Structures are given as structure tokens and as C-alpha cells.
A = this chain, B = another copy of it.
Amino acid sequence: MGRPGQSHIMSSRYNPVTEQVVEELAGIVGAGNVIFGDAERLATFSHDEIPDPSYAHTPEVAVRPAGAEEISRIMKLANRLHIPVTPRGAGSGLSGGAVPIFGGIVLDCSRMNRIIEIDRANMVAVVEPGVITNELANAIRENGLFYAGYPMSLETCQIGGNVAENAGGGKAVKYGVTGRYVLGLEVVTPKGDIVSLGGKLVKDVTGYDLIQLMVGSEGTLGIFTKIILKLLPLPKAAVDLLCLFKTVDQAIGAVPDMIAKTGIIPTSIEFMDAQSVQAACKYLNESLPYQNCGAMLLITVDGADADQVQRDYETIGEACLAAGAFEVYVADNHTTSNRIWRVRQNIPEAFKLVSPQQSGEDIVVPIASIPQIVRGMVELAKKWDVLIPCYGHAGDGNMHTRIVKNPAWTASQWKERLPLILTDLYKITIDLGGTISGEHGIGHKRKPYMTLARSSEYLDICRAIKKALDPNNILNPGKIFDL
């Protein structure tokens, strides 16, 4: 089980997955749902969407259970034999949450993909964790309902992963993040107990809120087998505004008091700096007038009433013009709306073409500090002589960036310097009252930096909770913090 170059991982803590273990697993999930000894298929479970392959680790075995009972038996087996278990959704994560860094068993949730119930009267959906978020969105739309949890990876990601990572996305300004919509969970604990939490209830103070402890715990405290989600009435109208500014300062300066001044809470306020816009437009062969543009804001307004939405977007558009926008495009139909959102959505892909070696970040700061963090990133790019494009969810302070390797650097220079650049970036962020991840999570990617963001007392409490729930450190070990 030794892994070259991964000497910090003491994999000898765990026992290997033997033929006999595989037989036991086959007895639980059926032989057709066990993948073992097939290096190519197992490799698909070794990584998420982090581009750097050094974060990948191949599991010894992957299993595809059908539900809570089977997962319970797997967890009991894993505790008895001391083998680590890593749950996995679509593998669309960005911090390594689904990567089995000590090998062992990967628990693939893809077979648990039923929408169990769409309860229109209570405005909730009951789903299994492997449901693709977009499929849920489509299924409930027919019922006039709306699921407001909206990660940008909507089309591929699974609800279980969204809940495990407490996925955010563009609509958090108005609607909040995934956790707000999780009313209930069926969870298999690290020891293999099946526990029901919450229900179709919007208020519940019957004991500790274990639901929100599970949400965002990155698969380290429990495996979700059923999820009860609160739904909203489907907004009847939505309009997008694309606001072009000459400078970053103008664009970003418009954001902090937009809500406070207008009293309108937009659905999303997305920011793109010039290099992000240019890269995405070139990648898409898009003819937006990006040449004169120092930065863009992409603002969505939605609501139950078309007239109201029109008044709101006019007010917001005027606020942007007053803040210095030289052009405001209104996209009030699906085609135009899709066209401008494609620019925003394709920034990460566009930069992969510029250089495959990069580190995707999702720092978050108080909204009033957005101008400072953007200026900080510009200075950081100069200091280190790298590209640091800046884009993301300006409305909630969650800025995305990619530290893109300077092509002149050798691989070892990059490997040596990236941690220093990240440390700089995180320190600037934390000094502004921010933190190192707003929605992507910690996993093993950001674990080395947790002590920058969190006190030892905070980490001690997290460790105490992890040990209390998972005394053998079986479930997704090595993530977020070391025990």
C-alpha cells in the first residue's frame, strides 16, 4: 500500500483489502457492484476535478451499494477490519473530498439515484444522494417548484456531494447555500448505525442540530442515504444584466452597497475581471465587446411577478450606470441569458487551455472588502509574476481565482512556489476577515492551510467531534484536519 512521494500519509495505520474482504463486500452489495483488481476502472475513483494529479489516490476496491442497510453493513465490516471508507458522489469536487487518500474502500453512491418523492403540498423533495442536481431541478420544475441550491457544476454534480460539501454557487446572495434547504437526512454513521435526522419540518429544536453538523462535513461524519430538501415556488420571471466597466475598481465598487442602497436582493452578482472575460470569450469565440472592458458584473434578478422583476432590474441597472458602467446589456430571454452565462461558466475551462498547471481557489471575504481583496490579488500576481485571474460570486464575497503557473517556471519551481503564493493569498484574505474556502471545501487540498484560518481551539473541538463519532477514524480519514 506504499505510495511513493506520499510519505506524510501513514497508510500502515489501516489494513489492506484482501480477497476475503472483497468476498465479504460482494456478499453485501452483490459481486456485480464490486470493482477490484481492475486498475483502469479503479483509477476513475482516484481523483475529483482538482487538475493536479498529485492529489489523486487509487482505492483498493470500489463498491456501489443500493441503500442504507448495505452501507451500514459495509461500515461495520470496515470498523471490524480497520479499513478506511471514502464516500463518493459525481467526483465533481474541487478539494479532494471524494479521494481515498489511504486507499481502502470507495463507496460510490451512483446507484442510489432515485427521486423518492416530490411532495408538492409540503414543498419538499425526498431524494437519494446519487440524484444529479440538474435532474432534480428539471423534475420539480414541472411541478412549479424550485430547488435553490445551485452549484455551478449543476449538470454533473450529485445532491449527496452538494450536501457533503455544503455547495454554494451563484444564487447564494438571495437564496443562501445548500444547507439552508436540507430539512432532513438519513445518515449511516461511521460506526454503521442508521440515523434519521429532521423531517419535512421548517422548524425543529428537538435536540442538537446534527443536520447542519453533517452538512459540509465532507463525508467525514456520515454517509447520507436519504435527503429531504425544502423547495420554493418557481420564480415566474428572471432577467440577467451584463454590466461592462472600464476598471475593476468601478465594477467591484458597485457591489458592496448595491443591496443596502436599493433594498433589492439580486439572485446573483457575478464578477469577472478583464483577463477572465477575455480568456472565456476567446475560448467560446464570443463577440462581446470585451476589448474595452476592464471588468464585468453579471447580475440576475428573479421573482414571482414579471412587472416587479422589470422594476428591480431597472433600479439595479441604474445603480450600475451610476457606479460607472459604460454599457448594460439586458438579457430577458433564454437564448441571450444562456449566452452571457456561458462566458461566466466557461472561465475555469478557458484557463485550463492557457495552462493546465494551476490551483483553483474560492476564498471568501466580507462583501465590503471585495475591492481590497481584488487589489490584493493584483499585487500578488505582480509580486510572484503569475496570472491570478479573478471572478466569482461577488454578491456574497466568494471570489474565485486560479493561480496559473508562469510558463517560464520549471515543475519543481512551481511545486515549491505555489504553497508560498497560496499562503500569501490566504493571509491577505484572513487579514480582511475572510477565510480560505467559501464553497469548495478543505479536503486534503487545503488541509495544510487550516491552521492559518482556524484556531487550535476550533480544530480541537472538530477533532473531539470526529473522534466521538468515528473512534476508529474509518470514514474518509485524512480530510479537513489530521487527528
Residues of A within 8 A of B (CB): 119-124, 144-145, 165-166, 168, 172-173, 176-177, 179-180, 189, 193-197, 199-210, 212-213, 215-217, 221, 232-234, 236, 256-257, 259-260, 262-265, 304-305, 308, 311, 364-368, 393, 396-398, 433-442, 450, 453-455, 457-462, 464-465, 467-469, 480-481
Q: A119-B368, A305-B308 are in contact. Are A439 and B259 (CB under 8 A)?
A: no
Determine the residue in chain B with the shortest Cβ distance to A481.
B207
B442 touches A206 (CB 8 A): yes
Known A-B contacts: A233-B263, A264-B304. Give 4 more (CB < 8 A): A206-B437, A207-B450, A236-B263, A464-B468
Residue from B196, B203, B465 in contact with A465 in the complex, judged by beta carbons closer than 8 Å: B465
Known: A144-B260, A199-B435, A265-B233. A205 touches B305 (CB 8 A): no
With contacts A209-B213, A233-B265, A260-B144 taken as known, whether A366 is within 8 angstroms of B201 at the C-beta atoms is yes
Q: Is the CB of B144 within 8 A of A203?
A: no
Provide the bound-state CA to CA distance between A10 and B206, in Å. 24
Complex Cα distance A3/B387, Å? Answer: 71
**B residues near A264, Cβ cutoff 8 Å:** 233, 304
Q: Report whether A458 and B207 are in contact in the complex, using a CB–CB cutoff of 8 Å.
A: yes
Beta-carbon contact of A122 and B263 below 8 Å: no
Cβ–Cβ contact B368 & A457, under 8 A: no
Q: Give this chain's copy count.
A: 2
Residues on the B chain within 8 Å of A465, using CB: 208, 465, 468-469
B-side contacts of A144, CB under 8 Å: 260, 263
Q: A120-B260, A234-B263, A265-B233 are in contact. Are A209 and B215 (CB under 8 A)?
A: yes
Contact A195 B233 (CB under 8 A): no
Taken together as a complex, chains A and B put the C-alpha atoms of A381 and B197 apart, in Å, by: 30
Q: List, in ascending order, chain B residues with CB within 8 A of A210's CB.
A: 458, 461-462
Q: Are A205 and B308 in contact (CB under 8 A)?
A: no
Complex CA–CA separation, A117 to B250 (angstroms):
27
With a cutoff of 8 Å between Cβ atoms, the chain B residues found around residue A263 in the complex are 144, 233-234, 236, 304
- Given A166-B209, A308-B305, A461-B469, also A195-B257 (CB < 8 A): no
**CA gap between A176 and B181 in the complex, in Å:** 11
Whether the pair A398, B203 counts as a contact (CB closer than 8 A) is: yes
A455 to B365 Cα, complex, angstroms: 40
Residue pair A233, B207 in contact (C-beta under 8 Å)? no
Cα-based distance from A193 to B200 in the complex (angstroms)? 36
* CB neighbours of A481 from chain B (8 A): 207
CA distance A175 to B450 in the complex (A): 33
Which residues of B are found within 8 Å of A180, using beta-carbon distances?
Answer: 176, 180
